[in-house]
Structure 1
Amino acid sequence: MMNRSEEKPPTRIAALADQCVQCGLCLPVCPTYALDRNEAESPRGRIAIAAALARGQVEPTAELREHLDHCLGCMGCEKVCPANVRYGELLVETRALLGPAPGRPEREIGLIRQPMRWRRLRQVLGGVGFAGWKSLVAKSLPEKSALRSALALWPRTPLPAPYIPQPASDETPDADTIALFPGCIASVEDADAQRAALTLLRAAGYRVVELPAFCCGAMDLHGGDAANAKRAAAQVDAAWRSAKAAHLVTITPGCIGTLRHALPGVRVADPVALLAARAERLSFRPLQARVAVHLPCTQTNVARSDDALLRLLRRVPGLDVAPLPKPPHCCGAAGTHMLEFPERAARLREDALRQVAALAPQRLLSSNIGCRLHLAAGMQDARQWPHQHPLVLLAQQLET
């Protein structure tokens, strides 16, 4: 019998699609179906499109492809599916079969996936006050330009201090060893969260090995660029093997699914899950504040660490923790979706920001750097909340 690794992609896609029983339970949790009320913009519709493409029953027209490209990959459908359809796997396989979209913003993606280049650009443009006049540059660009969308995401906050890996501590040699994966843009823009994760994990008794910063391949894997995704997976595998760790963690939930794809059988987790398992070792100083907690789709549906995060935050005395209600299901960032489909992403973001405003917080927390930059780009006037990674708040309040 042919195993999965030997199956040809169209055969594999058709087999995955055949698992769908067409019950429609995925429709109420699909953010793109909520936007359009169009069956082709639902998981059920996309599964039918993928099956027809794989069997050669339809041609991969631009219109059909767009329905697949609109998918945010939030995996809400997988979480509620009674037939356990592996929708994420089907989506990745189908996009790989089609290849990258003709309008994919390769230049912008190439910059994001290279941390050193991104930091240098931030330093240079920060030195000339770019954040203050970026809107003038943006207005000179075509309305649907990916570069214009990227400029909207340009951080308003100062560039964080560089994250410098530290040697592993041998103070607790009997503890599980954890490899901490920094990622690409997160290793620059969330450098403070990397340091916070290290502080918290060591305080909880874990031994931490820090991996080098590079792209895990998530943007390529979900964008149909199978060759680049495969090269990134090989780099992930080499770094993991050299770490000789029991767990692999990353502060960016958006990387978790891709890391699991690259390292089948390896325990890849959100650090908050491991911290919650040893919560009794952590003590926090009081903080009288109300925080809105945006839970990224990947944290809820892939890492499934949302409950662990909320439990940890609620251990901070005096902290009023208010998670965003559902819907909305997705803020619209979704990797490169906010660059490729800015109008659709903005509509989803507006739903999320309305929910934040209703909670009247003093601070907004979100674990995913892409989500935070996307949400910040939509904050105007009275909706200007300080925002940070929840691990930073926890580390700031940690009793040492």
Structure 2
Amino acid sequence: MALEKPPLTRSQTIAALADQCVQCGMCLPTCPTYGLDGTESESPRGRIAMAAALARGDAEPTATLRIHLDHCLGCLNCERVCPAQVKYGELLVETRALIGPRPGRPRALLAMLKQPTLLRLAARLGSAAGLARWKRRLDARLPAGSAWRAALGTLPEATPVTPPVAADSADGQPTVALFPGCVASVEDAEAEAAALRLLRAAGYRAIRLPAFCCGAIDLHGGEMDTAERLAERVRETWRSSGAEHLVSVTPGCLGTLRRALPGVPVADPASLLAERADRLRFRPLARRVALHLPCTQVNVARSEGTLQSLLRKVPELDLQVAPRAPYCCGAAGSHMLEFPGRAARLREATLDQVAALAPQQLVSSNIGCRLHLAAGMDDGGRRWPHMHPLTLLAQQLEDSP
């Protein structure tokens, strides 16, 4: 009888993942940080070599070494083009878990962002205090490079709208559970209501789960104990839902939800809507709209094609897809707060791409990307109304006959 092999240690896992890299360099042109700095240490290939050295004990996680790992956006453009199919995302998570959270990480700010109740309270207080009047003055008093200053720049000037959602009565239909998340449950509540409306119009039974953090911020920051506690909460919530599909309007949550729920169908709502697109009818909208595709929608959800097909069902809509030459807008979860200067450089390249399309409106499915881009619009004088693409679709949805 064959004996079971003992499970690999974290260091052994990292070394095995790193060994898959053939050092071909095909990832380099797709990497946003390599594009910023042009150095091997800011490339996927360079980071894989660092991870392997750390795992084998050939290097120590000095500040000089780990800054390059911390700079990684986790966009997974490299994984998408890798001919050796290196699981770079898994390698990055395991390496950050090995070396631990970044010193100086803004833990108090990140802890607040993970609490929907606190976020909602902050939004209401900001609106009541006239945030639009004093936001820039407060911004000027905070240190350059401060995570709190970067967060203030993304804070909406009005209280987010939370539309009422009618109860679902589609008995006998496949049940889809919407995971609200943390920031999205407050700042993108309108998109979540839109997703529920669209799913129900397409014939699904759609329910909304309780709002809490999926653990993505902790998982990608090396806070593995907290990430695992939140993953267990995800599992408990899923088991009690009785649903057959799990969706999130924020593609940035999908990878973490899939990690917590292996074998569970976790998807972008656009993917399920596309399967029943023949049931959806939309009113015309004569408007030029720029579609920004977040990295996670392209590389994790892989739903960019289905989303574009849905939007093109809106008669008269002039849909323009923003080119992905910069490859990432720089938001990347907490990256825009921890490295605001680098994030701003990537954002400028993205906004330049959008501006070249001369849009009347901008749509993007990731709330972090949208808030980050909006902060840059304010700074650069380029202001476009912005929303989630599902919100636009729901606004144009014809009532069912």
TM normalised by structure 1 equals 0.97
Equivalent residue for 2:16?
Answer: 15
Equivalent residue for 2:193?
Answer: 195
Deviations 1:12-51 (A, max 9, x none): 0000000111111111111110111111111111000000
Equivalent residue for 1:399?
Answer: 398
Equivalent residue for 2:160?
Answer: 160
Deviations 1:77-131 (A, max 9, x none): 1111111110000000000111110111111111110001110111112101023
**Equivalence map 1:58-97=2 (5 Å):** 58-97=59-98
User: Counterpart of 2:235 in 1: which secondary structure?
Assistant: helix
**CA distance in structure 2 between the aligned counterparts of 1:208 and 1:196, rounded to whole angstroms:** 11
**CA distance in structure 2 between the aligned counterparts of 1:354 and 1:270, rounded to whole angstroms:** 27
Deviations 1:120-159 (A, max 9, x none): 1111121010232122112212112111111111113x21
Equivalent residue for 1:179?
Answer: 177
**Equivalence map 1:245-394=2 (5 Å):** 245-380=243-378, 382-394=381-393
Tell me, yes or no, if the aligned pair for 1:168 and 1:210 is still in contact at 8 Å: no
**Equivalence map 1:229-240=2 (5 Å):** 229-240=227-238
Equivalent residue for 1:139?
Answer: 140
Tell me, yes or no, if the aligned pair for 1:253 and 1:368 is still in contact at 8 Å: yes
Deviations 1:329-387 (A, max 9, x none): 00000000001101100000000000110000000000011000000000146510000
Tell me, yes or no, if the aligned pair for 2:182 and 2:212 is still in contact at 8 Å: yes
Instruction: Write the letter of the residue equivalent to 2:234.
Output: V
**Equivalence map 1:31-50=2 (5 Å):** 31-50=32-51
**CA distance in structure 1 between the aligned counterparts of 2:4 and 2:108, rounded to whole angstroms:** 39
Tell me, yes or no, if the aligned pair for 2:289 and 2:359 is still in contact at 8 Å: yes
Change over 3 Å in CA distance of 1:3–1:252 after alignment to 2: farther
Instruction: Give the fraction of aligned pairs with identical amino acids, expressed as a percent.
Output: 63
**Equivalence map 1:105-124=2 (5 Å):** 105-124=106-125
Instruction: Write the letter of the residue equivalent to 1:53.
Output: L
User: Counterpart of 1:208 in 2: which secondary structure?
Assistant: strand
Equivalent residue for 2:28?
Answer: 27
Q: What is the Cα deviation at residue 168 of structure 1?
A: 3.6
Tell me, yes or no, if the aligned pair for 1:131 and 1:154 is still in contact at 8 Å: no
TM normalised by structure 2 equals 0.96
**CA distance in structure 2 between the aligned counterparts of 1:284 and 1:176, rounded to whole angstroms:** 23
User: Which runs of no fewer than 5 residues in structure 1 stay unpaired?
Assistant: none
**CA distance in structure 2 between the aligned counterparts of 1:383 and 1:231, rounded to whole angstroms:** 41
User: Which runs of no fewer than 5 residues in structure 2 stay unpaired?
Assistant: none
Tell me, yes or no, if the aligned pair for 1:163 and 1:188 is still in contact at 8 Å: no
Tell me, yes or no, if the aligned pair for 2:245 and 2:265 is still in contact at 8 Å: yes
1:244 to 230, 242, 251: 242
User: Counterpart of 1:134 in 2: which secondary structure?
Assistant: helix
Q: What is the Cα deviation at residue 165 of structure 1?
A: 6.2
Tell me, yes or no, if the aligned pair for 1:204 and 1:279 is still in contact at 8 Å: yes
Equivalent residue for 2:220?
Answer: 222
**CA distance in structure 2 between the aligned counterparts of 1:168 and 1:318, rounded to whole angstroms:** 31
**CA distance in structure 2 between the aligned counterparts of 1:187 and 1:141, rounded to whole angstroms:** 28
**CA distance in structure 2 between the aligned counterparts of 1:342 and 1:134, rounded to whole angstroms:** 17
Equivalent residue for 2:57?
Answer: 56
Between 1:353-362 and 1:380-389, the stretch displaced more is: 380-389
**CA distance in structure 1 between the aligned counterparts of 2:203 and 2:160, rounded to whole angstroms:** 27
Tell me, yes or no, if the aligned pair for 1:26 and 1:80 is still in contact at 8 Å: yes
Tell me, yes or no, if the aligned pair for 2:196 and 2:207 is still in contact at 8 Å: no
Considering only aligned residues, what root-mean-square deviation do their CA atoms show, in Å?
1.3
Tell me, yes or no, if the aligned pair for 1:165 and 1:210 is still in contact at 8 Å: no
**CA distance in structure 2 between the aligned counterparts of 1:52 and 1:292, rounded to whole angstroms:** 43
Tell me, yes or no, if the aligned pair for 2:115 and 2:212 is still in contact at 8 Å: yes
